[in-house]
Amino acid sequence: MATGLAAPKQLAVADFKGKVDPDWCPGCGDFGVLAAVEKALVELQIPNHQVVTISGIGCSSNFPGFINTYGMHTLHGRALAVATGVKLANHELTVIVTGGDGDGFGIGGNHFVHSMRRNVDVLYIVMDNQIYGLTTGQTSPTSRVGMKTKSMPFGNIESPVNPISLALACGATFIARGFSGEQKHLTELIKRGIQHKGFSFLDVFSPCVTYNHDNTYQWFRPRVKKLEDDPAHDPTNWVLAMEKSLLWGEEIPIGRFFERTDLPALHEAEPVLNEGALVHNGAKIPAEVSRAFIGELM
């Protein structure tokens, strides 16, 4: 029986194209990450107005301007703090946080640790290029020992952060690694991360073609091996995931390292939010109190 209601529009990649074209260097791995996020949202058919992209500072952190969703370009290293506030204010939103290895593991390292511990229900995508790109090529927290950069011209003397091991140790409930040169695989990881209830961490090898001539597409391609191709890999086994996270060299695993679904996300553990999203329930604070508080802040 006809109802007279039009069928809902099927979203396409063009619907997520931002009003500003990306200004990344030609060949930058971040283009691949942007394309994979757009494809994931289309395949999951999540409307634009139900998505918020939040970033810090850096080349990759320009992301919210290049995609047609709600977005916030925040402070260096503070994207996860802002994203936590957004999610608690309206936990019905899909919150995607983007940044780079410097923004996430250096300046924002403290927020990274505690967002995982709290199991905030966001997807955190780090475009990991092992260099500070926006500031033209300094050593980052994931630069290899011996790598020569503008800030370490005789070779990096500091051991790099292992983001996967750190995420496992700090309690992230979904941990994966992708490669911007493996588009279909990356899209699937993003979809799984969005669908997971809890803190989803996705470290993405996103080569910087301008300032990092060590960790190139050509260097990664023969080394990255998909965990999904290993029949012995069990993403529910934390110990096995930790062992896999330590592999680096001629074989570098990408894919889903670990996932657990038995812990509540932060908003699910907060009784106040059982009645629904705060944004729809009213402040429940007298207007004069709100005005006085805002006045203090101003």
Q: What is the CATH number of the domain that holds 233?
A: 3.40.50.970
Spatial distance between the Cα atoms of 291 and 294, rounded to a whole number of angstroms: 5
Confirm whether 297 is domain-assigned.
Answer: no
Task: Tell me how crowded residue 289 is: count the other CB atoms within 10 A of its CB.
Answer: 10
Q: Of the candidates 127, 53, 61, 42, which has an alpha carbon nearest to the alpha carbon of residue 96?
A: 53
Q: What is the pLDDT of residue 283?
A: 65
Q: What is the pLDDT of residue 281?
A: 80
3-state secondary structure of 191: helix
- Predicted TM-score (pTM) of this structure: 0.93
pLDDT string in tens for the chain (298-residue length): 555 566 678 999 999 999 999 999 999 999 999 999 999 999 999 999 999 999 999 999 999 999 999 999 999 999 999 999 999 999 999 999 999 999 999 999 999 999 999 999 999 999 999 999 999 999 999 999 999 999 999 999 999 999 999 999 999 999 999 999 999 999 999 999 999 999 999 999 999 999 999 999 999 999 999 999 999 999 999 999 999 999 999 999 999 999 999 999 999 999 988 888 888 887 677 889 889 988 998 8
Spatial distance between the Cα atoms of 75 and 260, rounded to a whole number of angstroms: 31
Q: What is the pLDDT of residue 2?
A: 53
- Measure the CA angle with vertex 24, ends 99 and 245; round to 5°: 40
Query: Per the structure, how many domains does the chain have?
Result: 1
Confirm whether 281 is domain-assigned.
Answer: no
Spatial distance between the Cα atoms of 74 and 290, rounded to a whole number of angstroms: 24
Q: What is the pLDDT of residue 279?
A: 83
Q: CA dihedral in degrees (82, 86, 88, 93; nearest 10)?
A: -140
Tell me which residue range forms the domain holding 192. Answer: 13-269
What is the spatial order of strands in the sheet that 94-100 belongs to?
70-73, 51-55, 94-100, 123-128, 200-205, 174-179, 252-259, 224-226
